[in-house]
Amino acid sequence: MPTIAPPGPVGTAAPPSLLTTDGSMGQPLDPEARRDLLVDRLVERLTSQRGEYDLDHWFTTLVSAQDVAYRHEVFTDLRMPDVRVGLTGFSRGLQHVRQTLAMAATLHYEAEQQRWFLQVARDYVTSVRGLADTLRAATLRSSALQGLATWVDGCIGSPRFEAIDAEATELLEQFGRSRYRVRVRDDWVEVRPVDPDEPELAPAVLATFERFRQGAPKSYLQQIRDPGAMDHVEAAIASFAARLYPQAFAALTAFCHRYDPLVPEPLTRVERELQFYLAYLDLADATAPKGVSWSLPDIASDHELSIRNGFDVALALRESTEHIAPNDCELGSDERLVIVTGPNQGGKTTFARMLGQLHFLAATGALVPAASTRLPLVDRVVTIFERGENLDDLRGHLRDDLIRAHGILEHLTDASLVLLNEVYSSTSSDDALALGQDLLTRLEASGARSVCVTFLDELSHHSVTTVSMVAGVHPDDPTRRTYRVERRRADGLAYARALAQQHGLTAEALLRRLLS
Interval 16-52: pLDDT, tens: 999 999 888 789 999 999 999 999 999 999 999 998 9
Residue ranges of the domains in the chain?
1-26+63-197+233-290, 292-515
pTM of the model: 0.84
| Alpha carbons 329 and 414: distance in angstroms, whole number | 20
- Pick the range with the lowest mean pLDDT from 1-10, 153-162, 240-249: 1-10
Q: How confident is the model at residue 176 (pLDDT cuts 50, 70, 90)?
A: confident
The secondary structure of 270-321 as a DSSP string is HHHHHHHHHHHHHHHHHHGGGT---BPPEEESSS-EEEEEE--HHHHT-TT-
| Alpha carbons 402 and 438: distance in angstroms, whole number | 11
Q: Mean pLDDT in the chain?
A: 87
Q: Distances in Å between the alpha carbon of 402 and those of 222, 228, 426, 439? A: 75, 62, 11, 9
Mean pLDDT of 434-440: 91
Q: How confident is the model at residue 394 (pLDDT cuts 50, 70, 90)?
A: very low
| Alpha carbons 433 and 424: distance in angstroms, whole number | 8
So what's the pLDDT on residue 410?
85
Residue among 93, 167, 76 at smallest CA distance from 133: 93
Q: How confident is the model at residue 190 (pLDDT cuts 50, 70, 90)?
A: confident
DSSP state for residue 347 in the 8-state scheme: S
So what's the pLDDT on residue 218?
74
Give the three-state DSSP class for 358.
helix
So what's the pLDDT on residue 205?
84
- Is 3.40.50.300 the CATH number for 292-515? yes
Count Cβ atoms within 10 A of the Cβ of residue 334 and give its class: 0-12 exposed, 13-18 middle, 19 or more buried.
exposed
- pLDDT(12) > 60: no
Percent of the chain at pLDDT > 70 equals 90
Q: How confident is the model at residue 309 (pLDDT cuts 50, 70, 90)?
A: very high
Segment (H or E) for 373: strand 370-376
Q: Give 115-140 pLDDT, tens digit per residue.
A: 999 999 999 999 999 999 999 999 99
- pLDDT(495) > 60: no
Q: Give 233-268 pLDDT, tens digit per residue.
A: 888 888 888 888 889 999 999 999 999 999 999 999
Q: Give 287-301 pLDDT, tens digit per residue.
A: 998 899 999 999 998
| Alpha carbons 485 and 496: distance in angstroms, whole number | 18
